[in-house]
């Protein structure tokens, strides 16, 4: 693991997710840019002290020299955005698969470069767009794919959070301070942090891509350096239109990502505050409330559920579903039986490049008088 010291947010979530299905063991890490914090984290996690490294460079180079049956197999990268590209490239160049948090990189240029490295290496890179791991999101995708709502015409995706309503970054909040710093977050604030999740979820469920957008990107909190509030009108490559909202200053909101998709024959609605429910709204019939863990769901939803109906699963399980899918691909790769990556059903480097293109297009559209701006990939 790179990143994920004891005071970090998402590193611990990755550790729990990776461990949930006993597919991965944590064997080593460079958990912080501060060697002492890295060692202290390794100690607290019960690692062999020799494998708590001072830096990710030392970790990757040292592990690569170990015998094949001893060295790490995959690297989780859970650092702020400006420390994504270098460790990912170095890991791939030394023969290690990568599972990395979003957004893929600091900039679109870095993302495009990283895709080249992945393609040349023949190795696997998974990107943890968490929300794609939920069983009822799999079901929504299945409904679209199997034609139950007809051709998609309208998509609304909303991602309101409230935690950046005040200048938290000035109070030393670790997570707020790098997210609002252009040197660490990149050119996007909220658009990179949560807008990329929203855009990815809309594309994942519907199977269509955003082709152009018209954005309004704002800095609400005084003296903040990056956007904390945004909205965009979307056009998709099949002619569908949509609306996306990603804001971190919706005071009182927690993390209520919500997706609504409407086709010619009906609609679907999913919300993160009730993730085990999917509403199906047919044009000519009553609303149906579909529930996780039931016998009537698709294979994809069932494959991503561990407990029977009425036993709630949530964020950690959705995250773990990405690790399980990644593990299937890694195992097939080592057996020389890797199938096309789409078949494993996890976000990959192509989604990561699209995420960075989303950020770049939102920024470009916001600055433009013309407003409608084409997606560059």
Ligand X SMILES: NC(=O)c1ccc[n+]([C@@H]2O[C@H](COP(=O)([O-])OP(=O)(O)OC[C@H]3O[C@@H](n4cnc5c(N)ncnc54)[C@H](O)[C@@H]3O)[C@@H](O)[C@H]2O)c1
Give the interface with ligand X as residue ranges (CB under 6 A).
Answer: 2-5, 8-11, 30-33, 56, 78-81, 83, 101-102, 128, 130, 174-175, 178, 193
Contacts 24+ apart (CB under 8 A), 301-306: 301/135, 301/136, 301/138, 301/139, 301/142, 302/135, 303/138, 304/133, 304/134, 304/135, 304/138, 305/135
Query: Whole-number minimum distance, CB 255 to ligand X, in Å?
Result: 9
Query: Whole-number minimum distance, CB 5 to ligand X, in Å?
Result: 3
Please say which residue, 14 or 224, places its beta carbon nearer to ligand X: 14
Q: What sections of the chain are H helices per DSSP? A: 10-20, 35-44, 56-65, 85-93, 108-121, 135-145, 174-179, 182-185, 190, 196-206, 299-303, 315-334, 349-367
Please say which residue, 79 or 365, places its beta carbon nearer to ligand X: 79
What phi and psi, each to the nearest 5 degrees, are found at residue 48?
A: -60, 125
Q: Which two tokens stand for residue 71?
A: 């060295």
Please say which residue, 35 or 167, places its beta carbon nearer to ligand X: 35
Closest CA to 162 of 243, 273, 252: 252
Query: Whole-number minimum distance, CB 334 to ligand X, in Å?
Result: 26
Query: Whole-number minimum distance, CB 4 to ligand X, in Å?
Result: 5
Query: Whole-number minimum distance, CB 131 to ligand X, in Å?
Result: 8
Please say which residue, 64 or 233, places its beta carbon nearer to ligand X: 64
The count of other CB atoms within 10 Å of the CB of residue 192 is 27
Please say which residue, 85 or 143, places its beta carbon nearer to ligand X: 85
């Amino acid at each position: 693991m790179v990143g994920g010291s004891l005071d970090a947010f998402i590193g611990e979530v990755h550790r729990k997710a990776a461990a949930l299905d006993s597919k991965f063991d944590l064997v080593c890490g460079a958990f912080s840019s501060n060697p002492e914090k890295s060692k202290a984290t390794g100690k607290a996690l019960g690692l062999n002290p020799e494998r708590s490294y001072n830096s990710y460079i030392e970790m990757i180079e040292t592990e690569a020299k170990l015998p094949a049956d001893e060295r790490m197999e995959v690297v989780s990268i859970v650092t702020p955005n400006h420390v994504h590209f270098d460790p990912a490239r170095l890991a791939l160049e030394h023969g290690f698969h990568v599972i990395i948090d979003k957004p893929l990189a600091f900039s679109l240029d870095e993302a495009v470069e990283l895709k080249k490295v992945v393609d040349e290496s023949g190795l696997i890179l998974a990107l943890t767009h968490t929300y794609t791991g939920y069983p009822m999101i799999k079901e929504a995708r299945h409904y679209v794919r199997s034609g139950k709502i007809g051709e998609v015409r309208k998509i609304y995706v909303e991602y309101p959070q409230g935690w950046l309503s005040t200048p938290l970054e000035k109070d030393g909040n670790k997570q707020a301070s790098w997210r609002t710093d252009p040197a660490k977050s990149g050119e996007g604030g909220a658009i990179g942090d949560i807008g990329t999740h929203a855009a990815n979820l809309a594309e994942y469920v519907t199977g269509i891509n955003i082709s152009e957008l018209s954005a309004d990107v704002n800095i609400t909190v005084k003296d903040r350096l990056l956007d904390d509030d945004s909205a965009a009108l979307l056009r998709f490559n099949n002619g569908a239109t949509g609306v996306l909202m990603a804001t971190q200053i919706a005071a009182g909101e927690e993390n209520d990502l919500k997706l609504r998709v409407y086709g010619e024959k009906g609609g679907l609605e999913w919300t993160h505050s009730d993730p085990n429910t999917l509403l199906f709204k047919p044009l000519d019939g009553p609303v149906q409330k579909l529930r996780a863990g039931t016998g009537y769901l698709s294979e994809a939803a069932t494959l991503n559920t561990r407990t029977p109906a009425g036993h709630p699963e949530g964020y950690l399980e959705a995250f773990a579903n990405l690790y399980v899918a990644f593990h299937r691909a890694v195992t097939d790769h080592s057996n020389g039986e890797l199938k096309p990556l789409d078949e494993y059903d996890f976000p990959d480097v192509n989604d990561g490049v699209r995420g960075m293109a989303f950020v770049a297009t939102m920024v470009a559209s916001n600055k433009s008088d013309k407003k409608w701006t084409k997606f560059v990939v």
